[in-house]
Amino acid sequence: MQSGQLRRREFITLLGGAVAWPHAGQAQQPAKLPTIGYLGTTAASAWAPWTAAFVQRLHELGWIDGRTVVIQYRWAEGRTERSAELAAELARLKVDVIVTGGNAALAAKQASTVVPIVFAVVDDPVGMGLVASLARPGGNVTGLSIQSSDLAGKRIELLREVVPSLRRLAIMANVGFPSGVQEMGEVRSAARILGLDPVELEIRRAEDIAPAFESLRGRADALYVVGDALVVTHRVRINTLALTARLPTMHNNREFVDAAGLMSYGPNLRDLFRRTADYVDKILRGAKPADLPVEQPTKFDLVINLTTAKALGLEIPPTLLAAPTRSSNKRGSCCDC
């Protein structure tokens, strides 16, 4: 790992198997408590580690579900139209703040210009029209940007370290998601700069995934998966098909690697959801979203699944294994590197 990166912390984790994450539950709540509308873009299970981080940080700040605050959970199951319906529902309930991310953040803004909205995982909030600027969001929306597109070149470089024979790179993205299209373009450009031939796989729904892999047969040496609600929801299927095709995969967060993907590099999403709780705390205590600048990641993770690497016959380079981390055949741990 490079040590010249400034103002951020990076982690490396080596994984050998899946991890079971706690599921955030919802109990009967008393009336008249501040209410948080928590809108997830996928199934509850996919967001479980992030939800747990968010709830834990709220607890540390004195907000306990059922005692000092009510959390209304809604799950879009990877369907954009469902996000719009649920965002409108939360707006009608007049919750005190909506927490969301990805595609659903725009749906939440369209549902209300009054209810404060905090996004935890959005790639380009200015480009999406969520905020006027990072420093001065304006309106009723603020949160944390994940800068996924900016990391495309770094991800490809790391993938090539593990797959030195890489010449042809497949890129899978949901082209119904504007940020996904943007990242696909960034990956395409970065691949060409690095002398690789990009092969694009465009999907819009779950039914497109298997045919995309069929069309890829013999045309690629590895697969870059652009993350969004659709691919997170179907991450196990994508990685199963990739393993069957013997394609090493690169992802933007560790939840894909926990689901048998080869590797990921990106912001530590648990940290972003903890910081999202800080925004919520400020808003519930009277702050306005317009006065809370959009923040960017400070922690980044490189995660490698050793079991998947072994199944693909890949050897992790000593340059990565030499990072100050502990690896395990069952699960990994993070540390500074």
Number of domains in the chain: 2
Helices 44-60 and 269-284 cross at an angle (nearest 10°) of 50
In a domain, 5, yes or no: no
Verify that 294 and 219 share a domain, yes or no: no
Verify that 255 and 230 share a domain, yes or no: yes
Report how far residue 285's alpha carbon sits from residue 277's, in angstroms, rounded to the nearest whole number: 12
Verify that 313 and 185 share a domain, yes or no: yes
Verify that 42 and 132 share a domain, yes or no: yes
Verify that 48 and 106 share a domain, yes or no: yes
In a domain, 129, yes or no: yes
Pairing of strands 70-75, 117-122: unpaired
More confident residue, 1 or 86: 86
The token pair at 215 is: 């069309």
Verify that 230 and 280 share a domain, yes or no: no
- What pLDDT digit, counting tens, does each position of 264-277 carry? 999 999 999 999 99
Report how far residue 231's alpha carbon sits from residue 222's, in angstroms, rounded to the nearest whole number: 17
Residue 79: predicted pLDDT: 86
Please say if the pLDDT value at position 109 is more than 90.
yes
The token pair at 41 is: 């873009």
The CATH number for 241's domain is: 3.40.50.2300
- What pLDDT digit, counting tens, does each position of 193-236 carry? 999 999 999 999 999 999 999 999 999 999 999 998 899 999 99
Task: Tell me if 223 sits within 8 A of 248, measured CB to CB.
Answer: yes
Q: How confident is the model at residue 147 (pLDDT cuts 50, 70, 90)?
A: confident
Task: Give pTM, 2 decimals.
Answer: 0.81
Please say if the pLDDT value at position 8 is more than 60.
no
Mean pLDDT of 80-106: 94
Verify that 154 and 208 share a domain, yes or no: yes
Verify that 233 and 199 share a domain, yes or no: yes
Which residue's entry shows tokens 């909506």? 98
Which of 19-23, 118-122, 153-157, 325-329 is predicted with the least confidence, judged by mean pLDDT? Answer: 325-329
How many Cα atoms within 13 Å fall on the side-chain side of residue 37? 29
In a domain, 169, yes or no: yes
The residue range of the domain holding 254 is: 149-267+301-321
In a domain, 141, yes or no: yes
Mean pLDDT of 66-75: 97
Which of 21-30, 51-60, 71-80, 248-257 is predicted with the least confidence, judged by mean pLDDT? Answer: 21-30
Residue 10: predicted pLDDT: 60
Question: Which amino acid, residue 136?
Answer: R
Please say if the pLDDT value at position 2 is more than 50.
no
Verify that 249 and 290 share a domain, yes or no: no
Report how far residue 54's alpha carbon sits from residue 48's, in angstroms, rounded to the nearest whole number: 10
Verify that 118 and 247 share a domain, yes or no: no
